[in-house]
Amino acid sequence: MTDVLLLHGGVGSDSTINPKLDGFASEAFNGDSLDSAVMAVSLMEDDESFNAGTGSVMRIDGSIQMDASVMVPGKFGAVISIERVRNPIIVAREVMEKSPHVIIAGDGATRFARMMGHQDYDPSTEKARMRLQKVLEELKGHPSDEERSRLFMLSISREAHDTVGAVARIGGMFAAAVSTGGSSPMMRGRVGDCPIPGSGIFAGENGAVVATGIGEEIIRRHLCFSIYSRIGKEPLQKIMDEEISKFGAIAVGAIAVSRDEFAHSANKDMATGFHLR
């Protein structure tokens, strides 16, 4: 059985950066599936061209709240709306391995990160500030509160909610990791699919899956579990293409590994990278 680490840079990301993701996969790959997946995602969190960690988009109030989760068969850990940390994915792993909990949210997640030794860190960038300013200017042009609200919800519905993720099969063991800065614009406290097991992430004895795209729709349709539940019944690529096609024009994508296959599928461009050994 070939070992594999497979990454994505978010649905809507430019596939011309595939070589960069190949490099991240090669750098992160080691003898442990969870170590490899978490390291790959942390490398993407540190690259401000991705919407996760440094480079995360701002909420409508100017804050940055990030979500991340990790999963291996029988274990899960996540942080929701964590603030002012460099690598939410590492904190999510610590929730799974070093706390009695499964999910920690909000200021509790940030406090837990400080307990684990994570220093205060500002993930904001000029790109994120300019993106928020553009959104606010667009909303200002419509004096009616009702119209502003309508445009706000419309922009959420059509915005690709970028996520970065990784799945691994190493030594016959599966792992998945996913991290996001959310979408822009969005309300403070909004939670997408990233930290919801079965929606944005799933790993079990038969494989691992992570998703990217419009989080609300991914949650409603349990995309990752829908893919996982069919693993072994048909070719993995066929399963993924069929599940993604059910979303129509709603931007979604996913990557997955099974015992003897790996595949990715998206209905928009999506950067991917992988390393085999």
Kindly report, residue by residue over 95-126, the tens digit of the pLDDT: 999 999 999 999 999 999 999 999 999 999 99
pLDDT in tens, 139-170: 676 656 665 555 555 544 444 447 899 999 99
How far is residue 207's CA from residue 104's CA, in Å, rounded to a whole number? 25
8-state DSSP, 58: P
Backbone phi and psi for residue 5, each to the nearest 5 degrees, phi listed first: -125, 120
pTM above 0.85, yes or no: yes
How far is residue 220's CA from residue 198's CA, in Å, rounded to a whole number? 10
Per-residue model confidence (pLDDT) at position 148 = 55
Domains of the chain, earliest start first: 4-276 (3.60.20.30)
Which listed residue (54, 163, 180, 272) is catalytic? 163
Per-residue model confidence (pLDDT) at position 186 = 75
Q: How confident is the model at residue 127 (pLDDT cuts 50, 70, 90)?
A: confident
Per-residue model confidence (pLDDT) at position 35 = 98
Per-residue model confidence (pLDDT) at position 159 = 46
Does residue 18 come out as left (phi exceeding 0), alpha (psi in the -120 to 50 range) or beta? alpha
Contact 60, 28 (CB under 8 A): no
Q: Token digits for 78?
A: 């996540």
How far is residue 276's CA from residue 273's CA, in Å, rounded to a whole number? 10
CB under 8 A, 24+ apart: contacts of 226-231: 227/202, 227/254, 227/256, 228/202, 228/204, 228/256, 231/206, 231/207, 231/256, 231/258
163 part of the active site: yes
The answer to whether residue 86 scores a pLDDT higher than 60 is: yes
How far is residue 227's CA from residue 193's CA, in Å, rounded to a whole number? 15
Quick one: which H or E segment has residue 43? helix 33-45
**Type of residue numbered 194:** C
